[in-house]
Amino acid sequence: MRLFDLTGRTALVTGSSMGIGRALARGLAEAGARIVLNARDPGRLEAAAEELRATGADVLTLCFDVTDPKAVQEKIDSFEANHGPIDILVNNAGMQHRTALEDFPVDAFDRLMRTNVNSAFYVGQAAARHMITRGKGKIINIASVQAALARPGIAPYTASKGAIANLTKGMATDWAKHGLNCNAIAPGYFDTPLNAALVADPEFSAWLEKRTPAGRWGEVEELVGACVFLASDAASFVNGHTLFVDGGITASL
């Protein structure tokens, strides 16, 4: 399966100390990539790294706040200078805040947008500057089914994921000519720490099982195949695409 082999490549996954980010990092490592884990909490970051190293993976850590553009640029530039190229970037860092839109706090809106949208721009731009010089690179942004759908109480999150889907198109439009592949993955409802409150709600889980053609929550490992595909040579002519991994929820009324 040479097309899917990531041996010799380095993948930075933001927000990868837990949840989807950690699962994607593990999957990229299994495909042969050297992994760079990122988070703000150094303790949690090192714990995730040790867990991944125990599987035999080649793992480095890069601790910085993805919402701080200066720190992002400095850390990316320093890594490239000292450890070699970042071949694959997965912009996974994100947050959720559930409140009725009419009561949504302005500071929470700003924080959510900085975390979910600004960070993808900051880290994407910093990494792309090096990728453009080399004439190749893979950027994978983590969107959501909320790029296409909406539910009560999460309007700003929905807006942020719609922005990620369109930022992905913009990245591809500007950077494909430089040899970069820029795509997004849009997960459906997955059992993650971000969704812990929903997973614990029997009424919501019952609704979701009826609403989703697959009839269940997704498991984070089911996102790995899409990520490895988009990170690999198998996706060499895929650009600006958002791949929905959602059990069919966006396909069915």
How does DSSP classify residue 167? H
* pLDDT tens per residue, range 66-88: 999 999 999 999 999 999 999 99
Q: Is residue 251 part of a domain?
A: no
Residue 1: the pLDDT is 77
**Average predicted confidence (pLDDT) for the chain:** 97
- 214 belongs to a structural domain: yes
CA 66 to chain centroid? 12
pLDDT at 10 over 90: yes
Query: Cα(43)–Cα(225) distance, rounded to whole angstroms?
Result: 29
pLDDT in tens, 223-238: 999 999 999 999 999 9
The average pLDDT across 145-163 equals: 97
194 pLDDT more than 90: no
Instruction: Decide: helix, strand or coil at residue 235.
Output: helix
Mean pLDDT over 24-49 rounds to: 97
Helix 19-30 crosses helix 42-53 at what angle (to 10 degrees)?
30
- Just list the catalytic residues: 157
Question: CA–CA distance from 170 to each of 15, 102, 146, 227 (Å)?
Answer: 23, 31, 19, 20
pLDDT recorded at residue 197: 85
Are 117 and 167 contacting, i.e. CB atoms less than 8 angstroms apart? Answer: yes
Q: Could you give the C-alpha distances from 43 to 17, 36, 211, in angstroms and in order? A: 10, 15, 39
CATH number at residue 40: 3.40.50.720
Q: How open is the CA angle 15-118-166, to the nearest 5 degrees?
A: 100
Question: What is the per-residue pLDDT across 239-248, written as a single tens digit (0 to 9) for each?
Answer: 999 999 999 9
Decide if 149 is inside a domain: yes
> Rounded to whole angstroms, how far apart are CA atoms 98 and 96?
7
Task: Tell me: pLDDT of 196 over 80.
Answer: yes
252 within a domain of the structure (yes/no): no
List the helix and strand counts (H, then E) for the chain: 9, 7
| pTM for this predicted structure | 0.97
Q: What is the pLDDT of residue 192?
A: 86
> Any residues with CB less than 8 A from the CB of 170 and at least 6 apart, and which?
none
Cβ–Cβ < 8 Å for 205, 178: no
Structure confidence at residue 58 (pLDDT) = 98
Whether residue 41 is contained in a domain is answered as yes
d(CA 171, CA 174): 5
Asked if residue 156 is part of any domain, the answer here is yes
Phi-psi sector, 222: left (phi>0), alpha (psi -120 to 50), beta: alpha
> What gap in Å lies between CA 171 and CA 233, rounded to an integer?
19
In a domain, 241, yes or no: yes
DSSP-assigned letter for residue 49: H
Residue 27 has pLDDT above 80, yes or no: yes
d(CA 60, CA 11): 10
The pLDDT of residue 217 is 96
Q: Which residue range is the domain that position 144 belongs to?
A: 2-246
Going through the chain in order, the beta strands assigned E by DSSP cover: 10-13, 34-39, 59-63, 88-91, 137-142, 180-187, 242-245
Record the tokens describing residue 9, joined without a space. Answer: 């490549």
Q: How many domains is the chain partitioned into structurally? A: 1
User: Tell me: the pLDDT tens digits for 97-152?
Assistant: 999 999 999 999 999 999 999 999 999 999 999 999 999 999 999 999 999 999 99
Whether 76 is covered by a domain: the verdict is yes
DSSP state of 246: S
